[in-house]
Amino acid sequence: MPCIFWHHHCVVKTLALEDIYADPHQLDSYLVSGEPVAVVRDGQAVAEFVPHKNAMKIAGEAERPFIDFRARFLKMWGPDALRSEVSVAEQFEEFRRPREL
């Protein structure tokens, strides 16, 4: 269930990832409210989503907000995530290969 907690000295709404998985549209009402939403998994925040209103304003100004993608990536996947040895080229070679009948 959605809850509220203190984060960076302001109230941030949170949604459990499981709730979003069950109903992806649960995010909609939160984002249109104009307040940020934190997504939590096992009690840990894994993503922070900004409101639609701010996003539309940004799009209208033809500017991209600064997002530290590297920090976000490491926050989601852990400190060793950028040391993966899995080849995306090999993955897509298999993904796009016609299925053998």
82 makes contact with another protein (CB under 8 A): yes
Query: Residue count at the site for another protein (CB under 8 A)?
Result: 43
Tokens 């939590």 sit on residue: 40
Q: Is 59 helix (H, G, I), strand (E, B) or coil?
A: helix
91 makes contact with another protein (CB under 8 A): yes
Q: With respect to another protein, which residue has the nearer C-beta, 9 or 61?
A: 61
| Residue 60: strand pairing partners | none
Residue 12 one-letter amino acid: V
Q: How many separate helices (H) and strands (E) can be counted in the chain? A: 5, 4
| Residue 3: strand pairing partners | 14
Task: Name the site residues for another protein (rule: CB under 8 A).
Answer: 17-18, 20-21, 24, 27, 39, 41, 46-47, 49-50, 52, 55-56, 58-59, 62-65, 67-70, 72-73, 76-77, 81-82, 84-89, 91-93, 95-97
